[in-house]
Structure 1
């Protein structure tokens, strides 16, 4: 189940536990956090697992209810969450990021740019007119990392998987470190935003 909004949705209230997680955050971060919780509550209610509070773990990631996997993303023009039952999917990840060139060094961190297939995938997207394909690769890497956090019991970082982009709007991912896996996700660039999502099969 995916629930999304274009702008911040501040209609919901936060629990004391949730407010504490962003008590010292800047206003923009608090707005993102509240919007994410509003969307999560809608999504969880839709799959029959309503919650009153979604606490935060030490690394800042949401602590999802037992039997649920989920993911949240925030970007200008895109606020979204996706949730699923764990018996249906081992992990789910979505990400949105501005479609613009990455800062120096970021691309090398998330991808082995010396790998011929990675380089060819990026070059093919550039030739076809895709806006900032390296930002697409970043969104895909973030989505994979989020999906693995629940599926593989840990955080392996945005450089923890080998990601290859394809011109047909798909990408493949496999482990660089941690639990071995292979999976296919989807990507798109829409209204100046690179977006990606992936689902990992239930174990």
Structure 2
């Protein structure tokens, strides 16, 4: 499903269930050594999806370690992102020559827990969400906002090396399946590329899930 949100040059592998008793890939065991069963299973399945996606790009299987903020560390020449939620795991990758950055996220198509919306929104967003909700009450727009900001962060962090809080991005949604994130802090990139002042993404509701993706073009 999430492949429908990706541009040319990127590909995704997804799974809707875990393989019982599947063990971590060699070199990843310590990353989930103390994790509870559910967390361990989602990690193992999502990392397997990532290796399958890398195989489509011609990469041999390798451990996918975690960086300073638990982000996946991809082989040289690859950008990518991993997501997992109840009943869904996915990974998306692209050659670094095709995209500068990539972020994906999946969330259950349900309202956000009480109190969370006030933490993840900035001025202007609640009013825009209310207008969207009035026009399309079947979509849980608050949860979609949360997911979109997760995708924005996943694309942002590898390019900047800096945290991006929910309050540091201002999102506008197109009901047709696109969104724009205006970054409210310095968007200077560590690789010397043009600043990340605005990030564009796509979204989809399918199979009881909210799916979002942000791709940073190579020229940006």
Fold-level match, TM-score > 0.5?
Answer: yes
CA shift for structure 1 position 63: 1.1
Preserved CA contact (<8 Å) 1:170 1:185: yes
Tell me the C-alpha RMSD between the 2 structures. Answer: 2.1
Residue equivalent to 2:148: 140
Q: Secondary structure at the match of 2:80?
A: strand
The within-5 A match list for 1:56-67 is: 56-67=66-77
Preserved CA contact (<8 Å) 2:129 2:142: no
The within-5 A match list for 1:1-203 is: 1-9=11-19, 13-112=23-122, 114-115=123-124, 119-179=127-187, 180-202=196-218, 203=220
Preserved CA contact (<8 Å) 1:160 1:176: yes
Residue-by-residue CA offset, 1:111-153 (whole Å, 9 max, x unaligned): 21x31x6522442244223331100111111111111122223
CA shift for structure 1 position 154: 2.9
CA shift for structure 1 position 60: 1.6
Q: d(CA) in 2 for partners of 1:17 and 1:30?
A: 14
TM-score, scaled to structure 2: 0.82
- Aligned pair in 2 of structure 1 residues 35, 126: CA closer, same or farther (>3 Å)? farther
Moved more, 134-143 or 155-164: 155-164
Q: Secondary structure at the match of 2:28?
A: helix
- Aligned pair in 2 of structure 1 residues 161, 50: CA closer, same or farther (>3 Å)? farther
Moved more, 88-97 or 122-131: 122-131
TM-score, scaled to structure 1: 0.89
Q: d(CA) in 1 for partners of 2:61 and 2:186?
A: 31
Q: Secondary structure at the match of 1:131?
A: coil
Q: d(CA) in 2 for partners of 1:131 and 1:100?
A: 9
Preserved CA contact (<8 Å) 1:160 1:178: no
Paired positions, count: 201
